[in-house]
Amino acid sequence: MTKKKPKPFPEPPDAVEIASLTPEGRGLAQVDGKSVFLHGALPGERVRFRYTRLRKDRAEGTVEEVLRAAPERVPAPCPHADICGGCSLQHLDPAAQIRWKQEMLEQVLTETGQARPERRLPPLVAAPWGYRRKARLGVRYVAKKGRTLVGFRERGTSYIADLRRCDILHPIVGERIEAIAKLLDGLSIRQRIPQIEMAMGEGPCVLVLRVLEPPSARDIARLTDFGGTCRLHFYVQAGGAETIRPLPGQDVDLYYDLPGADVRLYFQPTDFTQVNPGLNSMMVEQALMLLAPRSDERILDLFCGLGNFTLPIARRAAEVLGVEGDPGLVARARTNAEHNGITNARFVAADLYARSDPQPWASQRFHKALLDPPRSGALQVLELLPALGVERILYVSCYPATLARDADRLVNGLGYRLWAVGVLDMFPHTAHLEAMAVFERG
């Protein structure tokens, strides 16, 4: 059967005006009554573009030429910025990126959440380059190129971007993308490695190779020799997270420090940790300032992970209870408390999205609460907070839509007010938006 050829894209207009920037960081234009989302375009610009996707009610494209540039436009430093999906806003001045994120956050809170903040917190901003110490990179041997590629996916496709370096990754990996690709290209299992996971704290860097068949003795020797030269440690993963193993002589302790709280946290390569340690330290310091725990207060930390906020809070509060759904993270949080000599932090493993099987902690009293949920938000636990006596809530969000939804419930349903909100620039040069919000009763 002959494969049907895709229909060619229509000719785009000579030029379009960009009205605004979408939450994904694309310029929005109108063509014949249809919304067109354009990568590489900024508000106020006039551009030429080509289509990359057509649907009945919308279209997508990429900028071919900027005829009138916005004043905030800057040259993208990365030569791969046009194709790599790791970043989307390198062409926008970093200060303008922050302003846009602040505007997007307040817009979604006001329009979707019906909750207008009383004040805006100063944005938290750290180093814009070399900041990522956690990342998942694709690996693929490409026969047409005759070599292996390592990197993020191309924008809008499943292909691996052909990278030589990556300036948002920590330099120990970012400056060695091409060398790592050549290393994998020389392995007997080069076509059986679909992914690398990078994990790094203050010290060593671990690269976890997802392997579909075991490496040979010669492969192991090549990997360990390379790692010894470049200060990288190789682990392999044959299945789920429980199958992760260091290669011989490669086992290391991963940890990061929170100097302002005198806390060191140890973690496993695939544990959830913040990708940007500099910003994370600033975030924890701001959380302590806003939550303002006192020595006579009991604090509740929901979605606590391995104790990133719990242990610093415990330095100042009478008692902290951390609740987390992943038993492995709970075990490591307890170990971290012991390593830091903290005795007033307790940790409980519980599914915070389950409505049945009430937990004993859910009938206790707490003065304040910190919530750091995943993208799905914290709606299922909000009803508990007034009943527990919580007067102040610090909500750390990685997805503005669910923050807005939850803010609506807290403000318009449960009697809290949105005292303050601010942006956390955890992922510079991307449209990813993180935020911190403070809610108070009365």
Looking at the annotation, which residues are catalytic? Answer: 398
Q: Which residues pair with 258 in a beta bridge?
A: 263
Under 8 Å between Cβ of 419 and 121: no
- Phi/psi for 125 (5° steps) reads -135, 130
Of residues 361, 417, 370, the one with CA closest to residue 393: 370
- Phi/psi for 23 (5° steps) reads -60, -20
* CA pseudo-torsion sign 276, 280, 282, 287: positive
Under 8 Å between Cβ of 388 and 317: no
Give the separation between CA 30 and CA 18, rounded to whole angstroms.
8
401 to 106, 112, 346: CA distances (angstroms): 11, 8, 31
Decide: residue 43, CB within 10 A, 0-12 exposed, 13-18 middle, 19+ buried.
middle
Helix locations, 231-366, DSSP H: 277-291, 310-314, 327-339
- Phi/psi for 237 (5° steps) reads -135, 115
What number of helices (H) and strands (E) belong to the chain? Answer: 10, 21
Of residues 356, 368, 331, 426, the one with CA closest to residue 123: 426
Bridge-based pairing of strands 205-210 and 232-237 is parallel
- The distance of Cα 40 from the centroid of its chain, to the nearest Å, equals 22
Task: Kindly state the DSSP code that residue 417 receives in the 8-state scheme.
Answer: E
- Residues written for the chain: 442
Give the separation between CA 406 and CA 85, rounded to whole angstroms.
30
- Phi/psi for 33 (5° steps) reads 80, 5
Give the separation between CA 52 and CA 368, rounded to whole angstroms.
49
